[in-house]
Structure 1
Amino acid sequence: MRTLETELGGGRYYGGEALGYVDVALAPFTAWFLTYERFGGFSVAAECPALAAWAARCRAENACVAASLPEPEYVYQFVCGMRKHFGLDG
Protein backbone atom coordinates (compact mmCIF):
# COMPACT_ATOMS: atom_id res chain seq x y z
CA MET A 1 0.00 0.00 0.00
CA ARG A 2 2.87 2.35 0.71
CA THR A 3 4.28 1.64 -2.75
CA LEU A 4 0.93 2.55 -4.28
CA GLU A 5 0.86 5.74 -2.23
CA THR A 6 4.37 6.63 -3.38
CA GLU A 7 3.43 6.06 -7.02
CA LEU A 8 0.36 8.26 -6.62
CA GLY A 9 2.64 11.14 -5.68
CA GLY A 10 0.83 14.42 -5.37
CA GLY A 11 -1.64 13.77 -8.16
CA ARG A 12 -5.36 13.39 -7.76
CA TYR A 13 -5.25 10.16 -9.77
CA TYR A 14 -2.48 7.87 -10.95
CA GLY A 15 -2.48 9.42 -14.41
CA GLY A 16 -2.63 12.98 -13.11
CA GLU A 17 -5.79 15.03 -12.75
CA ALA A 18 -8.22 12.67 -14.51
CA LEU A 19 -9.35 9.12 -13.77
CA GLY A 20 -7.39 6.70 -15.92
CA TYR A 21 -6.71 3.05 -16.62
CA VAL A 22 -4.53 2.48 -13.54
CA ASP A 23 -7.18 4.03 -11.30
CA VAL A 24 -9.87 1.80 -12.80
CA ALA A 25 -7.64 -1.26 -12.36
CA LEU A 26 -6.84 -0.46 -8.70
CA ALA A 27 -10.21 0.89 -7.55
CA PRO A 28 -11.75 -2.55 -6.84
CA PHE A 29 -9.12 -3.17 -4.17
CA THR A 30 -10.40 -0.17 -2.20
CA ALA A 31 -13.49 -2.16 -1.22
CA TRP A 32 -11.12 -4.45 0.70
CA PHE A 33 -9.50 -1.68 2.77
CA LEU A 34 -11.93 -2.15 5.67
CA THR A 35 -11.19 -5.90 5.73
CA TYR A 36 -7.44 -5.26 5.67
CA GLU A 37 -7.85 -2.83 8.55
CA ARG A 38 -9.96 -5.11 10.73
CA PHE A 39 -7.88 -8.23 10.22
CA GLY A 40 -4.56 -6.38 10.13
CA GLY A 41 -5.18 -4.07 13.06
CA PHE A 42 -4.19 -0.87 11.28
CA SER A 43 -5.75 2.14 9.62
CA VAL A 44 -5.24 2.77 5.90
CA ALA A 45 -5.94 6.48 6.46
CA ALA A 46 -3.28 6.68 9.18
CA GLU A 47 -0.65 4.65 7.34
CA CYS A 48 -1.32 5.86 3.79
CA PRO A 49 -3.37 9.08 3.90
CA ALA A 50 -2.91 9.93 0.22
CA LEU A 51 -4.04 6.44 -0.83
CA ALA A 52 -7.09 6.67 1.45
CA ALA A 53 -7.95 10.09 0.02
CA TRP A 54 -7.57 8.73 -3.51
CA ALA A 55 -9.92 5.83 -2.69
CA ALA A 56 -12.53 8.21 -1.28
CA ARG A 57 -12.14 10.48 -4.31
CA CYS A 58 -12.62 7.56 -6.72
CA ARG A 59 -15.95 6.71 -5.07
CA ALA A 60 -17.17 10.26 -4.52
CA GLU A 61 -16.29 11.83 -7.86
CA ASN A 62 -16.95 8.94 -10.23
CA ALA A 63 -20.47 7.53 -10.17
CA CYS A 64 -19.53 4.65 -12.48
CA VAL A 65 -16.74 3.58 -10.10
CA ALA A 66 -18.96 3.87 -7.03
CA ALA A 67 -21.74 1.88 -8.69
CA SER A 68 -19.43 -0.96 -9.66
CA LEU A 69 -17.77 -1.50 -6.27
CA PRO A 70 -19.22 -3.56 -3.43
CA GLU A 71 -19.66 -1.88 -0.08
CA PRO A 72 -16.63 -2.45 2.19
CA GLU A 73 -18.81 -3.91 4.97
CA TYR A 74 -20.17 -6.49 2.50
CA VAL A 75 -16.63 -7.56 1.59
CA TYR A 76 -15.73 -7.86 5.27
CA GLN A 77 -18.81 -9.97 6.03
CA PHE A 78 -18.07 -12.18 3.01
CA VAL A 79 -14.52 -12.78 4.23
CA CYS A 80 -15.77 -13.56 7.73
CA GLY A 81 -18.22 -16.08 6.28
CA MET A 82 -15.50 -17.73 4.20
CA ARG A 83 -13.18 -17.93 7.19
CA LYS A 84 -15.94 -19.62 9.19
CA HIS A 85 -16.76 -21.97 6.31
CA PHE A 86 -13.16 -23.13 6.08
CA GLY A 87 -12.80 -23.47 9.86
CA LEU A 88 -10.37 -20.60 10.28
CA ASP A 89 -12.45 -18.92 12.98
CA GLY A 90 -13.90 -20.66 16.02
Structure 2
Amino acid sequence: MSLTLYMYIQIYVCGQKIVKTKGEDKQKAKEEMIFNMKLLETTLGNEPFFGGEAFGYLNISLISFGSWFHAFEFEDGFSIMDACPKILEWVNRCKERKSVSGALPDPKATIEYAGVLKKRIGIE
Protein backbone atom coordinates (compact mmCIF):
# COMPACT_ATOMS: atom_id res chain seq x y z
CA MET A 1 0.00 0.00 0.00
CA SER A 2 1.38 3.38 -0.92
CA LEU A 3 2.08 5.98 1.75
CA THR A 4 -0.48 8.33 0.21
CA LEU A 5 -3.23 5.68 0.29
CA TYR A 6 -2.32 4.94 3.90
CA MET A 7 -2.59 8.66 4.76
CA TYR A 8 -5.92 8.87 2.92
CA ILE A 9 -7.30 6.07 5.07
CA GLN A 10 -5.86 7.58 8.23
CA ILE A 11 -7.36 11.01 7.47
CA TYR A 12 -10.74 9.39 6.86
CA VAL A 13 -10.55 7.47 10.16
CA CYS A 14 -9.40 10.57 12.06
CA GLY A 15 -12.22 12.60 10.53
CA GLN A 16 -14.76 10.06 11.74
CA LYS A 17 -13.26 10.14 15.23
CA ILE A 18 -13.31 13.95 15.28
CA VAL A 19 -17.01 13.98 14.44
CA LYS A 20 -18.02 11.04 16.64
CA THR A 21 -16.04 11.49 19.86
CA LYS A 22 -15.60 13.90 22.75
CA GLY A 23 -12.90 14.98 25.16
CA GLU A 24 -9.54 13.28 25.14
CA ASP A 25 -10.46 10.95 22.26
CA LYS A 26 -11.40 13.94 20.11
CA GLN A 27 -8.13 15.69 20.98
CA LYS A 28 -6.13 12.58 20.05
CA ALA A 29 -8.03 12.37 16.75
CA LYS A 30 -7.20 16.02 15.99
CA GLU A 31 -3.52 15.39 16.71
CA GLU A 32 -3.55 12.29 14.48
CA MET A 33 -5.31 14.25 11.73
CA ILE A 34 -2.71 17.02 11.79
CA PHE A 35 0.12 14.49 11.86
CA ASN A 36 -1.25 12.70 8.79
CA MET A 37 -2.00 15.93 6.97
CA LYS A 38 1.57 17.09 7.57
CA LEU A 39 2.76 13.81 6.03
CA LEU A 40 0.47 14.50 3.12
CA GLU A 41 1.97 17.99 2.82
CA THR A 42 5.41 16.43 2.63
CA THR A 43 4.18 14.20 -0.19
CA LEU A 44 2.80 17.24 -2.02
CA GLY A 45 6.12 19.04 -1.64
CA ASN A 46 6.32 22.18 -3.76
CA GLU A 47 4.19 20.80 -6.56
CA PRO A 48 0.80 22.32 -7.37
CA PHE A 49 -0.88 18.90 -7.35
CA PHE A 50 -0.12 15.44 -6.04
CA GLY A 51 1.89 13.85 -8.80
CA GLY A 52 3.24 17.12 -10.18
CA GLU A 53 1.81 19.73 -12.52
CA ALA A 54 -1.20 17.70 -13.67
CA PHE A 55 -4.45 17.24 -11.78
CA GLY A 56 -4.82 13.47 -11.67
CA TYR A 57 -6.51 10.54 -10.00
CA LEU A 58 -4.82 10.99 -6.62
CA ASN A 59 -6.03 14.59 -6.45
CA ILE A 60 -9.55 13.49 -7.33
CA SER A 61 -9.46 10.97 -4.49
CA LEU A 62 -8.06 13.32 -1.88
CA ILE A 63 -10.05 16.46 -2.66
CA SER A 64 -13.18 14.95 -1.15
CA PHE A 65 -11.70 15.82 2.26
CA GLY A 66 -11.50 19.49 1.31
CA SER A 67 -15.14 20.14 2.17
CA TRP A 68 -14.75 18.56 5.58
CA PHE A 69 -11.86 20.81 6.61
CA HIS A 70 -14.28 23.69 7.14
CA ALA A 71 -16.49 21.50 9.32
CA PHE A 72 -13.55 20.41 11.45
CA GLU A 73 -12.51 24.04 11.91
CA PHE A 74 -16.03 25.27 12.65
CA GLU A 75 -17.22 22.42 14.84
CA ASP A 76 -14.02 21.38 16.51
CA GLY A 77 -11.89 24.49 16.72
CA PHE A 78 -8.66 23.76 14.95
CA SER A 79 -7.25 25.52 11.94
CA ILE A 80 -6.11 23.54 8.93
CA MET A 81 -4.48 26.72 7.61
CA ASP A 82 -2.36 27.12 10.74
CA ALA A 83 -1.37 23.45 10.84
CA CYS A 84 -1.05 22.63 7.14
CA PRO A 85 -1.13 25.70 4.88
CA LYS A 86 0.10 23.82 1.80
CA ILE A 87 -2.85 21.44 2.02
CA LEU A 88 -5.33 24.30 2.17
CA GLU A 89 -3.57 26.02 -0.76
CA TRP A 90 -3.84 22.74 -2.68
CA VAL A 91 -7.56 22.52 -1.85
CA ASN A 92 -8.06 26.05 -3.17
CA ARG A 93 -6.10 25.24 -6.36
CA CYS A 94 -8.27 22.19 -6.91
CA LYS A 95 -11.44 24.22 -6.36
CA GLU A 96 -10.38 26.57 -9.16
CA ARG A 97 -11.18 23.69 -11.49
CA LYS A 98 -14.80 23.78 -12.58
CA SER A 99 -15.05 19.99 -12.37
CA VAL A 100 -14.05 20.10 -8.70
CA SER A 101 -15.96 23.18 -7.56
CA GLY A 102 -19.13 21.83 -9.17
CA ALA A 103 -18.79 18.42 -7.53
CA LEU A 104 -17.91 19.28 -3.94
CA PRO A 105 -20.64 20.13 -1.45
CA ASP A 106 -20.84 23.64 -0.11
CA PRO A 107 -18.76 23.93 3.10
CA LYS A 108 -21.82 25.23 4.97
CA ALA A 109 -23.73 22.10 4.00
CA THR A 110 -20.88 19.96 5.30
CA ILE A 111 -20.89 21.88 8.59
CA GLU A 112 -24.65 21.31 8.89
CA TYR A 113 -24.25 17.62 8.07
CA ALA A 114 -21.54 17.23 10.75
CA GLY A 115 -24.01 18.71 13.25
CA VAL A 116 -26.68 16.24 12.15
CA LEU A 117 -24.24 13.34 12.56
CA LYS A 118 -23.30 14.49 16.05
CA LYS A 119 -26.96 14.74 17.08
CA ARG A 120 -27.72 11.34 15.57
CA ILE A 121 -25.05 9.62 17.63
CA GLY A 122 -25.75 11.65 20.76
CA ILE A 123 -22.63 13.82 20.87
CA GLU A 124 -24.66 17.06 21.00
User: TM-score normalized by structure 2?
Assistant: 0.67
When the two structures are aligned, how many residues end up with a matched partner? 88
1:41 equivalent in alignment to 2:41: no
Unaligned runs of 5+ in 2: 1-36
Cα shift readout 1:38-61 (whole Å, capped 9, x = no counterpart): 23321111111111000001001x
Cα shift readout 1:17-73 (whole Å, capped 9, x = no counterpart): 11011101101110100112123321111111111000001001x101111110111
Alpha-carbon distance in structure 1 between the residues aligned to 2:65 and 2:121: 23
Percent of residue pairs bearing the same amino acid type: 35
Alpha-carbon distance in structure 2 between the residues aligned to 1:25 and 1:49: 19
Please name the residue that 1:71 is paired with: 106
For residue 81 of structure 1, give the secondary structure of its aligned residue in structure 2: helix
Alpha-carbon distance in structure 1 between the residues aligned to 2:122 and 2:84: 32
User: Given residue 51 of structure 2, which amino acid in structure 1 is its aligned partner?
Assistant: G
Select which of 74, 79, 89 maps to 1:53.
89
Alpha-carbon distance in structure 1 between the residues aligned to 2:121 and 2:84: 31
Contact 2:75/2:111, CA 8 A, preserved across alignment: no
Please name the residue that 2:117 is paired with: 82
Q: Aligned Cα RMSD in Å? A: 1.1
Unaligned runs of 5+ in 1: none
